[in-house]
Homo-oligomer: A and B are copies of this chain.
Amino acid sequence: MESVIRFIDKKHDNYLNELRDFLKIQSISSDSTKNGETRRCAEWVASNLKSSGVENIQILETGGHPVVYGDYLHAADKPTVLIYGHYDVQPVDPIEAWGTKPFEPVIKGGNIYARGAADDKGKLFAFIKGVEAWLAVRKALPINVKFFIEGEEECGSTHTDSFLEEHKKLLAADAVALSDTAWFAEGFPCIQTALRGLCYMEITVKGPDHDLHSGSFGGIVANPLNVLGHIIAGLQDEDGKILIPGFYDDVLKPTDEELEGFKKLPYNDAEMKRCAGVSSIWGESEFTPLERIWIRPTLDVNGLIGGYTGEGSKTVITTRGTAKISMRLVADQNPVKIAKQFEQYVKKMAPKGIELEAKKLTSAYPVHFPASSKFVQGASRAMEQAFGKKPTFIREAFSIPITYSFLKILNAPSVLIALGHPDDNLHGPNEKFSLEHFFGGIKMAAYFLNEF
């Protein structure tokens, strides 16, 4: 390994220059005026993989932006790891809030500033360069590696699931390695072992068939907006506990080790309050804040509308009100089952005279990749060797839906190797990536390959 690590150190400037070239390409996948740039980016990745020694490079069409594939499959009887990443980036608005030009990478204070620096070009590139170093120094890889690099992650991964289905055999792997997540804090490397899922519902409460004068009819007509309030209140108690019958049935208990790990993290309310822009932290009192966002399902009203919303007053009992309500799910909750439980429960809460419609808008399965698995353990050792500190096994509050697709379609668990910082400004202006994490990430990738 030492020779590989020395090689990485030697190639410092080359890797940085290549990363700069990668970041200069304006691969904004949601902006069709940039389609030329997005395709050029796929071609750049393919060419970089080729010069890195990866074989069987292909640019595969998806109906949208293409996928770049490559592999190196010469380690018989060794596992195959699929390295996943995306070469597309978010739009740059609000452009006036940037201190530098988003597609002209600038190094300042140990960070490289550019759109896509952290999400996901810099992190993905660390894996590519880790593979390259092995192939350059050792002319071989200790395991089998496949690259699956998509160009639609920032515009909904519209074609990804069907692509996975179609290319099941090509992409077959024992595990997926991806880095789209961040350390808990500086000095606290981590590996995410679970992601929350989602069940996003919309309910429409219908009352009178025409707007009524609330003076004339107030008191004898069930008002859809009052009912909507009662339904929202009935979904969750004031402490945050969700009241849908059966809702918690499938919630997996975290291990004691996991909970102990959470407690050692430098969480503090003041920082969380600053970050959320609130004067107080809220939620289920018998759980710590980190437990609430990582191991507990939650319910939020995302939007509400009904009746008169203009200036001043109008004394109307309106015909309908709508609420968008989403639930973050944790392993092993099933969004299909939760949607049914939700629908049955809210329908029961509607009084006579009110018709209630509930529909599921979107959903994502929660995923859980136990820390005990050999791939997660291997990643943990690789992180420790590259960064000098054992990573904490944490969870993530949000969803990365493709991890469930890998599980369902390829039967491959994911290893979520954090390389970013919490303040990397993903999707925002002044996106950045730590160069220490970039080069540490290349070494981590090199160590990781050697762990099986």
- The chain A residues found within 8 Å of chain B, CB to CB, are 196, 198, 200, 202, 207-210, 212-223, 225-226, 228-236, 238, 240, 272, 276-284, 289, 292-293, 296, 298-310, 312-318, 321-324, 326, 328, 351-353, 355, 361-362, 397-399
Cβ A284 vs Cβ B219 within 8 A: yes
Docked Cα-Cα span, A232 to B307, in Å, equals 14
Are B226 and A229 in contact (CB-based, < 8 A)? no
Q: Which of B279, B296, B309, B313 contacts A304 (CB 8 A)?
A: B309
CB distance from A224 to the nearest CB of B (A): 9
**Chain copies in complex:** 2
CA gap between A199 and B328 in the complex, in Å: 39
A282 CB contacts on chain B under 8 angstroms: 220-222, 351-353
Measured in the bound complex, the distance between the Cα atoms of B352 and A413 in whole Å is 40
Cβ-defined contact, A317 with B302, below 8 A: yes
Chain A contact residues, majority secondary structure: mixed
In the bound complex, residues from chain B placing their C-beta under 8 Å from that of A310 are 303
Tell me the complex Cα distance, A307–B202, Å. 13
> Is the pair A198, B220 in contact by a Cβ cutoff of 8 Å?
no
Closest-CB distance, A320 to chain B (whole angstroms): 11
CA distance A292 to B221 in the complex (A): 10
Question: Closest 8 interchain pairs by CB?
Answer: A229-B232, A215-B398, A233-B233, A209-B277, A280-B353, A225-B301, A303-B307, A219-B298
Q: Which residue of B lies closest to A321 (CB)?
A: B304
In the bound complex, what is the Cα–Cα distance between A307 and B322 (angstroms)? Answer: 12
Which B-chain residue is minimally distant from A224 (CB atoms)? B301
Which residue in chain B gives the minimum CB-CB distance to A237? B230
Query: Residue of B at shortest CB range from A362?
Result: B313
Complex Cα–Cα for A280 and B220 (A):
9
Report whether B228 and A281 are in contact in the complex, using a CB–CB cutoff of 8 Å: no
Between-chain CB contacts (< 8 Å), 23 pairs: A200-B313, A202-B313, A208-B277, A208-B278, A215-B397, A219-B397, A222-B278, A225-B232, A225-B300, A226-B236, A226-B300, A229-B229, A230-B233, A279-B352, A280-B352, A302-B308, A302-B316, A303-B310, A303-B316, A304-B305, A304-B307, A313-B361, A313-B362
Contacts of A207 on B, CB cut-off 8 Å? 278
Contact of A292 among B196, B219, B303, B399 (CB under 8 A): B219
Q: In the complex, what's the smallest C-beta–C-beta distance from A325 to chain B, in angstroms?
A: 9
Among B222, B234, B272, B313, point to the contact of A326 (Cβ < 8 A): B313
Q: How far apart are the CA atoms of A217 and B300 in the complex, in Å? A: 10
Cα separation A191 to B232 with both chains bound (whole Å): 42
User: CA A198 – CA B216 in complex, angstroms?
Assistant: 12
**In the bound complex, CA of A328 to CA of B221 (Å):** 14
List residues of chain B with CB within 8 A of the CB of A231. 229
The residue of chain B having its C-beta at the shortest distance from the C-beta of A301 within the complex is B225
Contacts of A221 in B (CB 8 A): 276, 278, 281-283
Name which residue of chain B comes closest to A361, CB basis: B313
